[in-house]
Chains A and B, each alone.
Chain A
Amino acid sequence: MELSEHIKTANVEDVTLRRPFHPALRGTLCVTSHHLLFSNRKDEASWQLLILLKNIDAIEKSVENLFGYPRAVGSSGTITIKCKDLLVLQLEIPGMEECLNIASSIEALSSLESVTEMYPFFYRPSHLTLLGPWGLSTTEQYYKQTERLWDRWRVSKVNSDYSVCPSYPSAVIVPREVDDDKLIRSARFRQGGRFPVLSYCHHSNGMVIMRSSQPLTGANKKRCKEDELLLQAVIDGSELGYIIDLRSAQQAQQARMTGGGFESKSCYRHWKRIHRHHERGKVVQESLIKLVEACSDLSHSVDRWLSKLENSKWLSHVHSALSTAGLVVECVERDGHSVLVHGSEGTDNTLLVSSLAQIILDPASRTVTGFLCLLEREWIQAGHPFQQRCAHSAYSHARLKQECPSFLLLLDCVWQVWRQFPLALEFSEALLLRLAQEVYASNYGTFLCNNEQERCAAGVKENTHCLFQSMLKPDIEEQYLNPLYEPTDLAIWPSVHPQSLQLWTGMFLRWTEYAQNMEEAREEVWSIVKEHRERV
């Protein structure tokens, strides 16, 4: 079925658009295969609103109007469009049939699941070319650039056909002394084949952060010698390594009943296991839904606002992510031990904690390029299932499947770090907001699919543009810079006290007047800094 066949009514005139804090506008509404276009041509100046249909999370038709709302000319309907970037729009459409047609077209087109039909495959701006390498870096390039890895670590291509671990990239970094056969055996012992691989090597002491999925010890405490050897090779003669298990001890015990498990002390003698409980999947998604609901309800009193904020548990997730990341950094930087991080699948909280730890530890990951490289390495190549996790955002009424805002949680945590260290990051809140938007609906192919294998199969690298590359173009990058950036080589330890963590207003109250005053402050910061630069 052609995309255009979903479109029952392409054009409607005399539509009224209502947005927060703007006067209502009248204009023409147009539905295309991938966009909703509203244009208002008045007194020469024309104004357009272009929304990716994929950005639409939920659409509500006003029933009251559908059943003969009295109007001078014929019937009309109102549809409320709730976007994944949390914007809410209202469209008043004359003509009941048109209204229903528009609504059903949007519903059909915004929930397409075929990757190659998505807009990034059609987006062809004149200033970008499809030629040249895709993405910022590869595992091999990262290895080449990181001299401290050369001695003890190697790049393994054991997964070049994605058969050992379907969600890993084709190349991974592993200890030099562990051969590919051992890796294959270790992979069989780990859920989804996600055997322990290197995530980060600390520049000052060579200690590493590894990540994996849970070991499949099962009820009868299976062992895997190769897996044990692999971890032994990681610490290479040093006394101790830490396994940070992102589940409570009880949960880890229970996992054994379903074939999962944990590294027992007797088998991994030099590893000390620490359990930190993290919520996952549906629970976190529901937190986001509750939080956004609380933020958009304007009628409540202060009590109910705080209790709703508390009830959403969103900040508790931020709190746990940051404290566990802090714990990892403590092990690596303060105590000088290597760390293995995993939860169950090793595709969500594991990536969240390992990448946050790097931001705290590694000055290189605090630059714009470094941060985007980190996301590429630790989220996109590492196989965070973006398509499943970001299928819906906070407004959707659809039954939850595998949605989970892990990536948004990461952005929020990074924002908290930036609030506490306003000079330490080269990028600004604007970059985080842009990413929060792009991850749900994008012109670019970066966040498509669930892993490298799928991206390969769909031809993402050949047929779409890379978001990160486009963001790093000098004229564009500038808008994401932190005017106060002053690099520091030291670890930036965030405070994780509840008093120190705040609601990310720039994100969750983005479409309120409250955020507008903050915009003014940001501009003022820039003008102070610019004035200074001109003088120097």
Chain B
Amino acid sequence: MSCTEVWWSEMEHIKMPKVENVRLVDRSSSRRTQVGTLYLTATHTIFVGKGSEDRSELWVLHSLVCNVLKHKASQSGYPLLIHCKNFQVIQFIIPQESDCHNVYISLSRLSRPEKYEELYCFSFNPNVDKAERGHSWDFLDLKAEYSRMGLPDKLWHVTAINREYRVCDTYPADLFVPKSVTLPVIIGSSKFRSRGRFPTLSYYCKENHATICRSSQPLSGFSARCLEDEQMLQAIMKSNPGSRFMYVVDTRPKLNAMANRAAGKGYENEDNYCNIKFQFIGIENIHVMRNSQQKLIEVSTLRSPSMGEFLTGLENSDWLRHIKSIMEAAVFISKAVAEEGVSVLVHCSDGWDRTAQVCSVASVLLDPYYRTLKGLMVLIEKDWISFGHKFSHRCGHLDGEAKEVSPVIDQFLECVWQLMKQFPCYFEYNEKFLISIHDHVYSCHYGNFICNSQKERKDLCIKEKTHSIWPHLWENKLDFTNPLFKPDQSQNQGLLRPRTAPYCFKYWRRLYNRFDRELHPRQSELDCLMTVKEETQQLEEELALYEQKLAVLDKERAKALYMQKGVLESKQTLWSLPLDTSLANTPQDYIGGFIGGAPNVFTLQQGERENAELCLFGDKPKSSDADNSDQESGVADFSSHSSGEESLPSEDSVKDPDSDETGPNRE
């Protein structure tokens, strides 16, 4: 079935392509309701605000829709509530019940695709040729990453055993194992591990040869042993010549691991393996995490909660406690590797959730490279994508088992964010980068986070049919750079030693309340610093240019020019951000609608309007239409830099610069 066919079949699900007089409710203030037209396309829900001159638009990818709910009818119509995976909550009020029902049915179906081919990444088609697309997939090279770590070396090498994914179909084709390990040992060990996920290398510290290895749980039951598995661990330990033992970290709570023994699974018996130190960490399973995040989201979407309600809700969600437990596990592992020089084998049950979290957070702590933009991409590519984190299941890309969904990658990104908060100068990237990644993990806009394993992606020809997100993020790296990053210091810093006292863990407002603009600082320190830094650099370049000219021109003339330049520069405002001040003038709701408000004003740029129309005629959305990041950067009025609102590229959000609040009635 070709993409076009899929697309047409999706069109069949649309019972109601267009509804007029729909109201978009602003959840923060009922006064800011907009009236407009709702369109359903094959890929997006689009709301176009009505207004003689100014219009606003809202685009929501179907793949980002988490659930659709019909609420009890109100006076003004039938409310439809859309919860998105990027934590946006959209409320429409539709005048006719039948329309509301039709939209509900269509959207429920469209947001739960049954086949991979229905996902947006297969129809997303930016203007690039085949060669360029292939190139985009070569942007990251894991082979290069392993060689950056110093591999292969005299102790570790790549094994070809899983080239055809026969030993373990959820592992990548290329795996690093100790040279001393023979093929039968690997096969034996893999048979003794859940889903064949035998111990293999994840991170290598070339300074002291200590490694982080990962696997799934052993099938030990109450007493089973496996000689090959024991040899495997012995070989890993021996491949770190300086050490006399290794840690085996089971990231599960002890009780869970013990319960697994009854099912013939379990954990390593210290008596059977020579020189291992076994340790439980106690990170809860995916179901606990899913419920916890659900509670967190409920708290974050409370309407004007009191301070007490918010803090109590935050506490009862247990979310920060879970983040803390992941962080503590990572701290333990990173210290073992960097300070003790001891190798660590990490596993949980299947070795693709908690194991991925803990290994990757530990790597961020250990290696400054993972605190750079490219480094974090590589880390996600390695520890998450290649090692078979089940993105499709965990993110619910396809309609399927709700119990498989869990915010495992969210927690990883949040751990990195918590670290950024503690070490503001040690990360090259900023919070927007993490949020952008989060967005794309769920949006199915690019092919990177589709499927559950490398093998599935190969079978589905992801690289031939979709595009890779990484070059796209790299192109926008200016937006994602942390101005406070001090590369030299960070290199010297090596191991990060975060505090894990409870007060070090903060609520991530920018992620969970991302679309509640009134909640965020009105001015952005980071944006301001970025502007300052860019200007400094520009000035420096100019200065260099003038100095060159100085050398050429005769002294007298050159001096005059130099002075003139100084005058010119000093006349410019340093980093005045025109919209900052207008945003500053946005009153908050201090008494809940006590004093009258003003109607909203929408703006729609010419380009967007055309794009919108393109889609409305049932045309296949053009690449650039849907790829809002490109559009947004062209829209000067509310681009991230000038608004101080840190609006993110590629987000489908209401484009509403809130200019009403700055109108004359405020003065």
Interface flag for A518 (CB, 8 Å): yes
Interface size on A, residues (CB 8 A): 70
Segment from A132-140, A312-320, A371-379 that makes contact with B = A312-320
The residue from A300, A316, A326, A529 contacting B502, defined by CB atoms under 8 A apart: A300
> How far in angstroms is the closest Cβ of chain A from B614?
37
Taken together as a complex, chains A and B put the C-alpha atoms of A496 and B28 apart, in Å, by: 12
Residues 195-227 of chain B, each 1 if its beta carbon lies under 8 Å from chain A, else 0:
000000000000000000000000000000000
Taken together as a complex, chains A and B put the C-alpha atoms of A329 and B595 apart, in Å, by: 12
Interface flag for B617 (CB, 8 Å): no
Tell me whether A492 and B522 are in contact in the complex, defined as CB-CB below 8 angstroms, given that A313-B308, A528-B532, A535-B536 are known contacts.
yes
B525 contact set on A, CB distance < 8 A: 422-423, 484, 525
> How far in angstroms is the closest Cβ of chain B from A500?
5
Taken together as a complex, chains A and B put the C-alpha atoms of A310 and B518 apart, in Å, by: 23
Chain A, residue nearest B505 (CB) = A302
CB-based A-B contact count at 8 angstroms:
205
Interface flag for B559 (CB, 8 Å): no
Taken together as a complex, chains A and B put the C-alpha atoms of A514 and B505 apart, in Å, by: 11
Interface flag for B486 (CB, 8 Å): yes
The B-contacting residues of A in range 339-367, CB under 8 angstroms, are: none
A329 contact set on B, CB distance < 8 A: 587
Segment from B112-120, B267-275, B318-326 that makes contact with A = B318-326
Tell me whether A497 and B585 are in contact in the complex, defined as CB-CB below 8 angstroms, given that A484-B529, A531-B536 are known contacts.
no
Taken together as a complex, chains A and B put the C-alpha atoms of A303 and B318 apart, in Å, by: 7
B585 A490 Cβ-Cβ under 8 A: yes
Interface flag for A141 (CB, 8 Å): no
Chain B, residue nearest A508 (CB) = B503
Interface flag for B424 (CB, 8 Å): yes
A305 contact set on B, CB distance < 8 A: 501-503
B306 A316 Cβ-Cβ under 8 A: yes
Residues 497-517 of chain A, each 1 if its beta carbon lies under 8 Å from chain B, else 0:
111111101000100111001
Tell me whether A326 and B569 are in contact in the complex, defined as CB-CB below 8 angstroms, given that A333-B666, A492-B584 are known contacts.
no
> How far in angstroms is the closest Cβ of chain B from A524?
5
Taken together as a complex, chains A and B put the C-alpha atoms of A520 and B424 apart, in Å, by: 8
Interface flag for A494 (CB, 8 Å): yes
B543 A535 Cβ-Cβ under 8 A: yes
B306 A303 Cβ-Cβ under 8 A: no
A498 B305 Cβ-Cβ under 8 A: yes
> How far in angstroms is the closest Cβ of chain B from A350?
17
Interface flag for B158 (CB, 8 Å): no
Interface flag for B36 (CB, 8 Å): no
Interface flag for B628 (CB, 8 Å): no
B518 A421 Cβ-Cβ under 8 A: no
Instruction: Report the contact-size class of chain B (Cβ under 8 Å from the partner).
Output: 35 or more
B586 A493 Cβ-Cβ under 8 A: yes
The residue from A306, A324, A490, A514 contacting B499, defined by CB atoms under 8 A apart: A514
Tell me whether A532 and B532 are in contact in the complex, defined as CB-CB below 8 angstroms, given that A330-B590, A490-B581, A493-B585 are known contacts.
yes
The A-contacting residues of B in range 479-512, CB under 8 angstroms, are: 483-484, 486, 499, 501-507, 509, 512
Interface flag for A12 (CB, 8 Å): no
Of A303, A304, A305, A420, the most chain B CB neighbours within 10 A belong to: A305
> How far in angstroms is the closest Cβ of chain A from B15?
38
Tell me whether A532 and B535 are in contact in the complex, defined as CB-CB below 8 angstroms, given that A310-B312, A326-B590 are known contacts.
yes
B539 contact set on A, CB distance < 8 A: 532, 535-536
Taken together as a complex, chains A and B put the C-alpha atoms of A512 and B314 apart, in Å, by: 24
The B-contacting residues of A in range 126-182, CB under 8 angstroms, are: none
Interface flag for B576 (CB, 8 Å): yes
Taken together as a complex, chains A and B put the C-alpha atoms of A443 and B648 apart, in Å, by: 49
B561 contact set on A, CB distance < 8 A: none
> How far in angstroms is the closest Cβ of chain A from B288?
14
Interface flag for B423 (CB, 8 Å): yes
B506 contact set on A, CB distance < 8 A: 502
Chain A, residue nearest B311 (CB) = A310
Taken together as a complex, chains A and B put the C-alpha atoms of A330 and B666 apart, in Å, by: 10
> How far in angstroms is the closest Cβ of chain A from B419?
11
A304 contact set on B, CB distance < 8 A: 502
Interface flag for B245 (CB, 8 Å): no
The B-contacting residues of A in range 275-331, CB under 8 angstroms, are: 295, 298, 300-307, 309-310, 313, 315-316, 318-319, 323-324, 326-327, 329-331
B516 contact set on A, CB distance < 8 A: 497, 499
The A-contacting residues of B in range 615-667, CB under 8 angstroms, are: 665-667
The residue from B315, B507, B520, B575 contacting A495, defined by CB atoms under 8 A apart: B520
22 contacts across the A-B interface (CB closer than 8 A): A307-B315, A310-B308, A310-B312, A310-B315, A319-B307, A329-B587, A335-B595, A421-B522, A422-B523, A423-B525, A490-B582, A491-B666, A493-B585, A493-B587, A494-B588, A495-B588, A498-B306, A498-B310, A517-B422, A521-B425, A525-B529, A528-B529
Q: Which residues of A contact B (CB under 8 A)?
A: 204, 274, 295, 298, 300-307, 309-310, 313, 315-316, 318-319, 323-324, 326-327, 329-331, 333-335, 419-424, 484, 486, 488-503, 505, 509, 512-514, 517-518, 520-521, 524-525, 528-529, 531-532, 535-536
